[in-house]
Structure 1
């Protein structure tokens, strides 16, 4: 037997809360009577976007308000929809790399080569950042960057029985990007007659 997949929708509405409640009841009736589906009332909250953010697909969505920011003499930010990175998401993403509140090495990677360790941490962090690039406050992921970088360096230090500062000096590199020169961590594998793997 096949069950329908749950779908996610976000509806925006301008008006009084009573009218929003009525729309929600009519929508629930349509789903129940015409489509034979049930609307989950626990997962279908009505949120005032100016005072509280709605959660959708891992983002916080709210109506922006900033009386001090003016563009061309107008408060262009006010009333616009904003996406934010939830703080609890940042905390949850940091948890696998922490022990007793401090960044810790990853025992599962300690026997891997340097390139694999650096590439694994880089791929995970890049995936998280790319998902949240639509947010206006992607800088909130700076804490995750620090935690993951420190955990990576501790993993490398544990592998080589060295120190975090020595591993940072060994793997720190400056690379050219479309946005200018950037500092990062890199582990290169030299290959005969071919471009190094980094």
Structure 2
């Protein structure tokens, strides 16, 4: 039976967290990245045939952005965190007033603030859950893309892509500093679709 601890993490959340850590190790351990990339290639293989690769990257980024927005709406209790923050700010104001008045009740207020801080820490841990679950999709996708563009033997992605207002560029062309075009293309699409998805989710009240 699935249990939830005092931080709001269930057994499934903890398993997802461990799996996310294993997947994240793929950034530095090539065998993990290769294994993830091969599985992801089997899943995405049919789409690489029917869709232009640039469109596939946009769809992957957009799907990740929407998925993350929905997870945040479903799993993150933002209203409770805001209420706690308001209580802490109110308590801090009362502490300042008590100290200025040399009121002995300031010690009681310090104890109350300590308890609030512990509660706030627990809430922050609980609100980390959406990130953990989204990592189960975003990390494999990113590892697959990196494998595709850094492993010529993959032979999936075309060498060039048409960029509006610029023209044909290599996917591995440097945009700024160490940032490559494929990375900017992916994160640009992910951030923009995630932003729109969060606004839509808030408007329709998903998760409330």
Q: TM-score, normalised by structure 2?
A: 0.34
From the two aligned structures, give the one with the greater helix fraction.
2
Q: TM-score, normalised by structure 1?
A: 0.35
From the two aligned structures, give the one with the greater strand fraction.
1
